[in-house]
């Protein structure tokens, strides 16, 4: 096995790191506190190729591999997890399904603006009564011949207010169960489509999360993504890839917190020497580094498997499960290393700790990941 990054991968890391440090970092605390959406930076991420990293260049994307994608996400999440989740949702949850299962007309219409950062996409699966249980879709899309009539509510939608293009999942034929679910492409501005207030969240506060409401929205048949009844399978396949993105975000949050704690421990003195020279702190740093390296290998392996077109569902669930746990534990310890200073905003670690929690929740809780993993393990 070769664990060295290629020259191209190293260039991507450096580009993402430079952007995060010079562009994202200066205003990150204010954006978090005031819940400002990073509009100008999303456009710059599009210019850098980060918003359509794995999209084929013929549709305006960068045409890079999944390893490149997680490398960039990790660097952005070290500084601004909100920017990272905006990028991740656009890439993993929207561009992926459109490119793999969209018609040529759909790809040409939607992928170009999404990959360039001119428009944002959102993935609408969760509902008030169907969060982790994606088979229980209460949103309906009644077949009216030449169009579907869409009714229902979606919750916890990342990019919900800023997106222009939405992939919405709805039940068309209740008798068929999850085989009757369809994925529909909805555009902002369609009559009957409304967006709820922005959620006031614990973390990733400068990303926007909203509920979406549909009342007799007429959706043309050509806006269906994939074959009739293919929606549930599309959602599950998308989530497999989405977990790689979440794992990379968690990895970045953990790595960012560790770097801050390590640097602070070299500067802060106690009992006549830097606190990193005290075994209690040194051992914390050693544990943090060990866990982060293990998470990094799991994340990179999942991305590599995806690039090799090998099964990666179990691997992505393992990476997401472990990396999110590491993010939470590492950020808690980073606050502890900082002591009282860790509890105030200017040292960044308290924000990273708040951001870390969502990585244990979205794309399925830890328990959901264990279901995915155990099902794979117990297959005959």
Sequence-ordered alpha helix ranges (H) in the chain: 7-19, 28-34, 39-47, 66-79, 81-88, 96-101, 104-106, 112-116, 231-267, 279-307, 313-338, 349-359, 366-377
74 assigned to active site: no
Phi, psi of 192 (to 5 degrees): 95, -5
Cross-strand partners of 169? 183
Contacts of 83 (CB under 8 A, 6+ apart): 20, 24, 38, 41, 42, 45, 76, 206, 207
The active-site residue, picked from 74, 187, 363, 367, is: 363
Instruction: Report the alpha-carbon angle 137-207-193, nearest 5.
Output: 45
The token pair that represents 64 in the structure block: 């890079």
Query: Do residues 178 and 232 lie in contact, with contact meaning Cβ atoms separated by under 8 Å?
Result: yes
Distance CA 326, CA 181 (A): 35
CA 270 to chain CA centroid, Å, is: 39
Distance CA 153, CA 229 (A): 20
**Active-site annotation, residues:** 363
């Amino acid at each position: 096995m070769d664990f060295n990054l290629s020259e191209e991968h190293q260039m991507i890391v450096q580009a993402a790191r430079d952007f995060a440090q010079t562009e994202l970092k200066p205003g990150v605390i204010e954006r978090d506190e005031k819940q400002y959406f990073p509009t100008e930076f999303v456009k710059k991420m599009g210019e850098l190729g980060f918003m359509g990293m794995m999209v084929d260049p013929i549709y305006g994307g960068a045409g890079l591999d999944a390893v490149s994608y997680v490398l960039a996400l990790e660097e952005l999440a070290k500084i601004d997890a909100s920017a990272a989740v905006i990028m991740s949702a656009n890439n993993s949850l929207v561009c992926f399904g459109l490119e793999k299962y969209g018609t040529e007309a759909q790809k040409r219409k939607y992928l170009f603006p999404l990959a360039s950062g001119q428009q944002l996409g959102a993935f609408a699966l969760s509902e008030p009564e169907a969060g982790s249980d994606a088979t229980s879709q209460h949103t309906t899309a009644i077949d009216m011949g030449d169009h579907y009539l869409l009714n229902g509510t979606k919750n916890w939608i990342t990019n919900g207010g800023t997106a222009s293009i939405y992939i919405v999942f709805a039940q068309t034929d209740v008798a068929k169960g999850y085989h009757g679910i369809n994925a529909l492409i909805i555009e902002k501005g369609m009559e009957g489509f409304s967006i709820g207030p922005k959620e006031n969240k614990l973390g990733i506060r400068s990303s926007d999360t909203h509920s979406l409401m549909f009342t007799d929205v007429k959706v043309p048949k050509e806006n269906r993504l994939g074959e009739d009844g293919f929606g549930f399978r599309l959602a599950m396949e998308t989530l497999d890839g989405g977990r790689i993105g979440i794992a990379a975000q968690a990895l970045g949050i953990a790595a960012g917190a560790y770097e801050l704690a390590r640097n602070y421990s070299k500067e802060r003195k106690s009992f006549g020497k830097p606190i990193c020279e005290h075994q209690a702190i040194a051992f914390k740093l050693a544990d943090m580094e060990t866990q982060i390296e293990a998470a990094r290998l799991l994340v990179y392996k999942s991305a590599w498997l995806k690039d090799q077109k090998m099964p990666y569902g179990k691997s992505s669930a393992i990476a997401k499960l472990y990396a999110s746990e590491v993010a939470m534990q590492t950020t808690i310890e980073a606050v502890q290393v900082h002591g009282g200073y860790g509890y105030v905003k200017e040292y960044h670690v308290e924000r990273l700790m708040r951001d870390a929690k969502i990585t244990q929740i979205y794309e399925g809780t830890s328990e959901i990941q264990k279901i995915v993993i155990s099902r794979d393990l117990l297959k005959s």
